[in-house]
Chain A
Amino acid sequence: MCDQPVRNTNEVRWQKVLYKRQPFPDNYVDQRFLEELRKNIYARKYQYWAVVFESSVVIQQLCSVCVFVVIWWYMDEGLLAPLWLFGTGLASSLIGYILFDFIDGGKGRKKSGRTRWADLKSALVFITFTYGFSPVLKTLTESVSTDTIYAMSVFMLLGHLIFFDYGANAAIVSSTLSLNMAIFASVCLASRLPRSLHAFIMVTFAIQIFALWPMLQKKLKACTPRSYVGVTLLFAFSALGGLLSISGVGAVLFALLLVSVSFLCPFYLIRLQLFKENIHGPWDEAEIKEDLSRFLS
C-alpha cells in the first residue's frame, strides 16, 4: 500500500476498503474516520412521576419487612395474642384471595387452569405440616445463641430485599432465593418466640406477607394502578405507625429511607441520564431481532 509513491492525494479519494492498494500510509486518518459513530441510540427517556410510581414496588417490600419485624416484636413481648394474629391473617388472606380473582375477572385463573379445590388443598397441606412441625421449629435453633439468630435474620432479610424480583431484568434477581431467605429469617425469628403455637403462626404470617402479598400486589399494579398507589400509601403509613409505637427514632429513619427511595432516587436517576454516553457503531454485535423459535417448534 505505501510502497507506491504518494500521488496527489487530493485527487484520489480515500475509500474504506481493504482490498485496494491505496496511495495513503497505513496510519492515514480520513475525515470520514468514526463517521458511523452513534451515541445513545437506545437510551430511554424517563418521566419523573412514572419512575416514582415504579419505585413503589421497593417501598412495598421495605414495608413488608418492617411490618413483619414489628409484628414479631409484639409477639415476642407478649403484647399480641397469637390467635388474634392468626384470625386477622386468615381473614385478610381470604379477602386477598377473593380480590385476586375479582380484579381481573377470573382471567388469570382460567389461564392457569387451577381449581379452587386445588388451592384449598395446598393451603390445608401447608397449614397442617407447619402446625405439625412447629415444635421442631421451636427447638431447631436452641443450641444457637440469640445474637447469632438476630444477625442471621438481619442478613437474610437484607438478602431478601436484594434478590427480590422488582421487575428489573438483571442477573442478580432470583425470586426463589429471595423468598427462601425471607422464610429462613422467619423460621429463625419464630424459634425465639415463647411457644410452638407462636412459631407456627409467625411462619404462616411470613408466608402470607412474603409469598402471597407480592402476588396480589403485582396483579393490583397491573390492573388498577390507582388503587395500588392507595394501597402502597396505606401500607407504608401502617408500617410507619407500627414502628413508631416501638421506637420514634426508628420511625423517623424509616420514613427518611422511604422518602429518599421514592422521591430522591428517581430524581437522581433522571439527572444522571444527562451524562449518559453510550457508543454504538458498526463494531457492535448484531442483534437477531426475529423470533427464530418458530423453526424449532
Chain B
Amino acid sequence: MACRTEAEPSRRPLDALACTSTEECPTAPTGSHSVCMVSDFFYPNMGGVESHIYQLSQCLIERGHKVIIITHAYGNRKGVRYLTNGLKVYYLPLKVMYNQSTATTLFHSLPLLRYIFVRERISIIHAHSSFSAMAHDALFHGKTMGLQTVFTDHSLFGFADVSSVLTNKLLTVSLCDTNHIICVSYTSKENTVLRAALNPEIVSVIPNAVDPTDFTPDPRQRKKDMVTIVVISRLVYRKGTDLLCGIIPELCLKYPDLNFIIGGEGPKRIILEEVRERYQLHDRVRLLGALEHKDVRNVLVQGHIFLNTSLTEAFCMAIVEAASCGLQVVSTRVGGIPEVLPESLIILCEPSVKSLCQGLEKAIAQLKSGELPTPEKIHGVVKTFYTWRNVAERTEKVYDRVIGEAVLSIDQRLDRLMSHCGSVTGCIFALLAVFNILFLIFLRWITPDSLIDVAVDASGPLSSWPLPQCSPRDKMNPHSNEDSET
C-alpha cells in the first residue's frame, strides 16, 4: 500500500533507532557506502543507461549499500519517489534542453543537489553518461563539496569534427578531478582515456549486463520451414539502417525462404519502407515499430539469426540479449563489439553490404546444415557471461577504492584544473570552480548543514524499508507527485 510505505520511513525514528528485525542490519555499516547515482536519463525514459542505473542500484541495495538516484522531472513525475526495495529517486524540476538532457550553467543545480547530498549523507557520487549535463554538474558540485566521485561512460566519441573537439574538452574538465571512471568495454576505455587525457590506472572496465532470466530461448516460436533474421535497433544512421536497406533486397532475391523482422522506430524507417515497396517484400519484411522492453524477448525468439548493423557501439546489449535467446549473431566489427561475445557465437563482418551479406550467408548455411548449436546450449553459455550481481560486485570494489582516497583541497583542485585542461580552458574553469565554492559558502551561510533534516534511509544498513520479500511489487509509488512544488 502506498500510504503505508510512505508512512514507514517516519515511523522508524519512533522505534528509538534500535533495529527491530535482525535482517534489517545485515552488513556492518563500515563496509557500506551511501551512493548517489546522478543522470539525466532514468525511467520513465527507456534505454541502456536507464536500465543500467536501475539494475546496478538494485544489486547494490541487495549488497547492503544505500543508494539514491537523482534525475530530472519527466512531465508530471516530479518530487520524490520510491521504487522497488526502497530505491529512492529524486525527480528534480530542472529545465530540459535537448534530447532529455538538462541545461547546464554549472551553478543553478547546486542548491538542490547540495541539499540532497547533505540530507542523504552521501559519500560517493556516481554520475552516468557523458551526454547528461546533470551528471557533469553533479561531478563539479561533488568536488566542490569534497565528496568522492565516480563516472560511468556509456558511449564512444570520435575526434575528427568540431563538435567532438568541444565535447571532449568539456569531458577533460569534468573528469580531471574525478576519482574513478568506469567504462563498459576496453575500446570505450581507450576512447575515454584519450578524450579526457586520463591516467589509465583510474579507469576500470566493467561491462553492462543483461538479466538472463528475461531472455530465455523458445525454439517453438520459430517457423520451421523459414529462416528468420531479426533486427532490433533504433532506425537511425548510426545504427546502420542504410546498410540494412542494401542487405534486405540482396538476400531476399537469393533466398526465397528468408524472412526479416525489424523492430524499432526512427527517422530511417521511411527508406526501409521504400525498399520493401520497391522489391515487393511486404510478406517477408515485417516492420514492427517501436518495441517495449518486455516485448523484445518475444520478438527475438521468433528468429534464427540476429543482425546488428551498428556503425559505432561501446557495448552492444542487443547482441547479448539475442545470444541469450539462442540466436546466431551476425554483427559489424565496430567499437567494443568484438570484445562482447566469443567467436563461436558471433560472426563479425566489416561495415559494408557485401561483407554483411557474406556473414549472413555463412550463418544461413550453418543453420541449414545443422552446424549451429541449439538455442538452449547458446543460452547456457551466454548466461554466465554478464550478470548484474557481478557488475555490482565490481562496482563495489571501485567504491571501496575510491572511499579511501584523499579529497583534493581547494588549491590542489585549482592547480590540477589549470595544469590538466590547457591554459585557457583550465583558467576559465578554475575561476568557475572558485565561484562555485563561494556560492557553496553562501548557501551554507543561508541554510547551515545543521538546519537540514537528515533523511530517513530507505536502503542501506540503517534502512527502515520493509524487507525485500514483503516489499510492494508496484514499482512506482503513485502518491508523491502531488507534493512537488518549486
Contact = CB atoms under 8 A, between A and B. Distances in A.
Q: Are A and B close enough to touch in the complex, i.e. CB under 8 Å?
A: yes
A276 to B, nearest CB: 12
Interface stretch (A16-24, A73-81, A244-252): A16-24
Interface in B111-169: 156-160
A283 B158 contact: yes
Given A19-B386, A285-B311, A26 B190 contact: no
Residue picked from A2, A27, A34, most chain B C-beta under 10 Å: A27
Contacts of B190: 33-34, 36-37, 281-283
A69 B352 CA distance: 53
A27 B204 contact: yes
B306 interface: no
B207 interface: yes
Interface stretch (B21-29, B242-250, B413-421): B242-250
B228 to A, nearest CB: 21
Nearest to B310: A286
Contacts of B242: 288, 292
A147 interface: no
Given A27-B201, A29-B200, A296-B274, A285 B238 contact: yes
B339 A295 contact: no
Contacts of B341: 19
B354 interface: yes
B159 A278 contact: yes
A119 B219 CA distance: 70
A19 to B, nearest CB: 4
Given A27-B202, A295-B275, A289 B352 contact: yes
Interface in B195-229: 200-207
Contacts of B193: 34
A37 B187 CA distance: 11
Interface residues of A, number: 31
Contacts of B334: 282, 285-286
Contact of B352 (A36, A288, A296): A288
Per DSSP, chain A at the interface is loop
B245 A290 contact: no
A259 interface: no
A17 B342 contact: yes
Contact of B206 (A26, A33, A280, A295): A26
B186 interface: yes
Nearest to B350: A286
A132 B331 CA distance: 66
B454 interface: no
Contacts of B205: 18, 26-27
A286 B159 contact: no
Contact of A278 (B160, B394, B397, B398): B160
A267 B73 CA distance: 54
Interface in B312-370: 312, 314-315, 332, 334-336, 338-342, 351-354
A140 interface: no
Nearest to B185: A18
A295 B249 contact: yes
A296 B248 CA distance: 12
Contacts of B158: 283-285
Interface string A5-46: 000000000001111000001110100011011000000000
Contacts of B39: none
B65 to A, nearest CB: 17
A2 B394 contact: yes
A256 to B, nearest CB: 31
B194 A34 contact: yes
A231 B185 CA distance: 59
A18 B352 contact: no
B57 interface: no
B393 interface: yes
A286 B311 contact: yes
A281 B191 contact: yes
B200 A284 contact: no
Contacts of A295: 245-246, 249, 275, 278
Contacts of B191: 281, 283
A220 B315 CA distance: 53
B246 A290 contact: yes
Contacts of B352: 288-290
A282 B201 contact: no
Interface in B21-58: none
A91 interface: no
B308 interface: no
B74 interface: no
A18 B238 contact: no
Contact of B204 (A19, A26, A287, A288): A26
B245 to A, nearest CB: 6
A1 B354 CA distance: 38
A281 B354 CA distance: 23
B249 A283 contact: no
A283 B201 contact: no
Contact of A26 (B156, B338, B353, B398): B398
A287 B240 CA distance: 10
Contact of B186 (A18, A25, A280, A288): A18
A34 B203 CA distance: 14
Contacts of B390: 1
A26 B201 contact: no
Nearest to B398: A26
18 contacts: A16-B338, A18-B185, A18-B315, A19-B385, A37-B190, A282-B335, A284-B158, A285-B334, A288-B240, A288-B311, A288-B351, A289-B352, A290-B353, A292-B242, A292-B243, A296-B271, A296-B275, A296-B278
Given A19-B340, A278-B160, 13 more contacts: A1-B390, A3-B393, A19-B341, A26-B398, A29-B201, A34-B190, A36-B190, A281-B194, A282-B187, A283-B191, A283-B335, A285-B156, A287-B351
Interface of A: 1-3, 16-19, 25-27, 29, 33-34, 36-37, 278-290, 292, 295-296
Interface of B: 156-160, 180, 185-188, 190-191, 193-194, 200-207, 238, 240, 242-243, 245-246, 249, 271, 274-275, 278, 311-312, 314-315, 332, 334-336, 338-342, 351-354, 385-386, 390, 393-394, 397-398
Sorted nearest first, the 8 A-B pairs with minimum C-beta distance are A26-B204, A286-B351, A283-B191, A285-B312, A19-B385, A283-B156, A286-B311, A18-B207
